[in-house]
Structure 1
Amino acid sequence: MLPEPKRSVVAIPPPGDGPGFWAGAPSAVVWDGDIYLAYRLRRPIGKGRGYAVVIAKSSDGVSFETLLTISKEQMDTESLERPRLVHTPEGGWRLYLSCATYGTKHWRVELLEAEDPKGFDPRHAQVVLPGDPKTAVKDPVIVRQDGIWHLWASCHPLADPDETDQMVTDYATSPDGINWSWHGTALERREGSWDSRGVRVSAVYFTGHFTGDGGGDRSVVAYYDGRASAAENYEERTGIAIGVDPAALTALGSTPRAVSPYAGGGLRYLEILPLPDGRHRLYYEMTRPDGAHELRTELRTGPGTGPGTGPGPGTGYRAE
């Protein structure tokens, strides 16, 4: 279920032309026949950075109507990064927002709750992943499986100002999606490889089932963003990691699995959305020829997957 840019179309264009203008970092939910998409808009450093998160709705997964725009000023943050949109089992909606703390390299994650995707109110935000003086936390990936909330977040070290672009992915669980318990680093950087500077999980799928004693026939497939240097910051490419434990993922291969054919090669923040008819829609952020980033989408057909499961590599899916 890897992106094939030649088969994709633009869902959301960037807010300007040239490097530093981005539309992307998508999170998608299908509900009641429509697709709801949360994404981040960004301008270059000095011109606004991540200035807004947009909630939009589509009947076809390609053409979106804006429902709500949340600005960085409303969230009292210097910049916004990848959001996470969730429809809860109780029928409500949650929006997890990655927020930069003013004047620092620190990031935190705040939560908004609403009965409807148009109803998120920044005045009622609560911090759910505060990070700490040594660690920035952002870009959460959240999956509810077998009654447990699972989370993978990008974590950056803050002790050395010259090293804050480094990142690993840590794993946490929760009974309610609000109070989280951390279980250490799930995906590490690989020295000497294309992902030696940073790894950020972008999408996770479970196959099989978990048991209370940690057993079961489970396996985990994760897609992640990686880069080899600080110079490649903002131009991460997509790789695959697997494991039998969501807290311990192993990256596969010595090269990225999906890249942009343009500029710095950035193809990141992959989101894979299962559709009710057994197909899947992919969303991702990709660098275009002028260096701007656009949000692109592909529709895939293939064998269906059961509840709580998802696609893995080598499953014979094809693009439409």
Structure 2
Amino acid sequence: MTVGTTTLPLPSWEDSTVVVEPPGTEPGAWSGAPSSIVADGHVYLAYRLRLPIGAGRGIANVVARSSDGLNFTVVAEIGKDTFGAESLERPALVRTPEGRWRLYVSAATPETKHWRVDLLEADTPEGLATAAAVTVLAGDETAAWKDPVLHHDEHGWHLWASVHPLESWDDADRMTTEYATSPDGVHWTRRRTALAGRPGRWDARGVRVSSVQVTGDEITVAYDGRATAGENWEERTGVARGARLPDGTFGELTAEEHEPIGSPHPPYGLRYLSLVDLPDGGRRIYYEATRADGAHDLRTERV
């Protein structure tokens, strides 16, 4: 799909390969929410494992390594009990300019709709399994922060996270994408709402940026969206774009006028797209998608 002067690869499904099977075969059993990077000639993939509500929900974040982008070996696994969390959601895997490894973990506060983001940091990806957690996006009684996507450049650290309003228990599934900046990737300043749902459209109920591509001063993103509360957990994927502002931050995003990309299997969820540039010059996308039995698997395509 061409967006402005850039192209953002999107799934075609027919060319996809399953890289992680879900931990069950029923709706609510998911592998996915991937975050991918390339380091030291390998593809590293962080993802979430989930069981249905009542059976454990988001049980673990996993970090795995691959030489071909298809066959992965687990190098670290962090369970939800490490964070005292009721559930874990999408992790964000980052390599700092100094070569340190970071994993930003979304953790649910038990018996609430609140979420926060904790940071693990280590010298190696294996070390993330035993790293001490530091809360970097605490949220509060009015807002839950989760599912961050990060970018680092000469202007510092940039973050897009999904934020859920907590005024009403029944409406806490609503979400916007909020944008924040940081000098170090630890201490964050919220700047603005980057993307919000569009009334009457397929993304009216909530939007969540899942992948960021920066080309010069232009930013192109993949994002998840849903129209209703009933589509929670089965979002589909769209594209939005924006630009860098004179102060070095990124401005608001504008959704493209295209129909979303979904799985061919009802209820058509296809979300958490992550894009990575490969050492050989190619690219891969990773994403979570609904399969025929209602579970979600983690898939990849070379693009």
TM-score normalised by length of structure 2: 0.94
**CA–CA distance in 2 between the matches of 1:18 and 1:263?**
13
Specify which of 153, 173, 190 is matched with residue 165 of structure 1.
Answer: 173
How far off its partner does 1:124 sit? Answer: 1.1
**Does structure 1 conserve the Cα–Cα contact (< 8 Å) formed by 2:121 and 2:131?**
no
Stretch deviating more after TM superposition (113-122 or 39-48): 113-122
Is 1:192 equivalent to 2:200 in the alignment? yes
2:295 to 285, 292, 295: 292
Number of residues of Structure 1 aligned to a counterpart in Structure 2: 290
Q: Distance in 1 between matches of 2:13 and 2:207?
A: 21
Equivalent of 2:151 in 139, 143, 149: 143
SS in 2 for 1:189: coil
Query: CA-atom RMSD, angstroms?
Result: 1.0
- 1:269 equivalent in structure 2: 272
- What corresponds to 2:43 in structure 1? 35
Partners of 1:238 and 1:196 in 2: how far apart? 13
Identify the residue that residue 206 of structure 1 maps to in structure 2: 214
Partner of 2:13: 5
Q: From 251, 256, 259, give the equivalent of 1:247.
A: 251
Aligned partners of 1:75 and 1:122 also within 8 Å: no
Structure 2: runs of 5+ lacking an equivalent: 1-8, 245-249
1:3 maps to amino acid? P
Q: Distance in 1 between matches of 2:102 and 2:170?
A: 34
Between the aligned partners of 2:214 and 2:127, the Cα distance in structure 1 is 31
Asked if the contact 1:194–1:254 (Cα under 8 Å) also holds between the matched residues in 2, the reply is no
Residue of structure 2 aligned with 1:83, choices 88, 91, 97? 91
> Does the 8 Å CA contact 1:74/1:122 hold for their aligned counterparts?
no
SS of the aligned residue for 1:255 comes to: coil
SS of 1:285's partner is: strand
Which amino acid is the alignment partner of residue 182 of structure 1?
R
Superposed displacement of residue 121, structure 1: 4.4
Equivalent residues in 2 for 1:122-141, closer than 5 Å: 124-141=132-149
Unaligned 5+ segments in structure 1 are 209-217, 301-320
Q: Percent identity?
A: 56
Answer whether contact 1:39 1:83 (CA < 8 A) is retained.
yes
Cα-to-partner distance string for 1:97-156 (whole Å, 9 max, x where unaligned): 000011100000000000000001456100000011100000000011224111000000
Structure 2 equivalent of residue 278 of structure 1: 281
Q: Match of 1:251, as an amino acid?
A: A
Answer whether contact 1:100 1:108 (CA < 8 A) is retained: yes
Cα offset, 1:65, TM superposition: 0.7
1:223 aligns with 2:222: yes
